[in-house]
Amino acid sequence: MTGLRYKLPRKSILKRKQLIDALFQSGRSIAAYPLRLVYLPMSYPEDSRFLVTFSVPKKKIKKAVHRNRIKRLMRESFRLQQYDLNLPQKTLLMWIFTGNDVPNYEIIYQKMNLIINEINKKYH
């Protein structure tokens, strides 16, 4: 047992509109089809090392059940890989699905792993 708690607590979820607007205005992005990560190092009052949110556009995925399924897959994949993400400071993260159809879990996991490795290389 590694001692890590693979949870994604509520305090780590990005909900504030002001922070999301700041993320879109001055954030950077990394993409690996069908995922894109928009991130912004920023100080915020929460004590979590990152605030994360997940988005699936209604324009690309029409049915709500499919959008919710994709968000669930992205949350689960991030929950398992959150400790692989080495961030030097507090960071806002937004995962955006850019594909046109519902992928399987393995694709989401692999692409998220690619993006996490790439952001780790940028910071270290």
Q: How far apart are CA 56 and CA 35, in angstroms?
A: 10
Looking at the predicted structure, is the pLDDT value of residue 2 above 80? no
> How much is the pLDDT for 1?
45
Looking at the predicted structure, is the pLDDT value of residue 124 above 90? no
Percent of the chain with pLDDT over 70: 98
Domain boundaries, the chain: 13-117
Overall pTM > 0.75? yes
Q: How far apart are CA 14 and CA 94, in angstroms?
A: 8
At 104-119, the pLDDT tens digits run 999 999 999 999 999 9
Mean pLDDT score of the chain: 94
At 6-23, the pLDDT tens digits run 899 999 999 999 999 999
At the topology level of CATH, where does 13-117 sit? Ribosomal Protein S5; domain 2 (3.30.230)
Torsion of CA 102, 116, 72, 26, to 10 degrees: -90
Q: How far apart are CA 95 and CA 35, in angstroms?
A: 7
Looking at the predicted structure, is the pLDDT value of residue 75 above 90? yes
Looking at the predicted structure, is the pLDDT value of residue 100 above 90? yes
> How much is the pLDDT for 88?
86
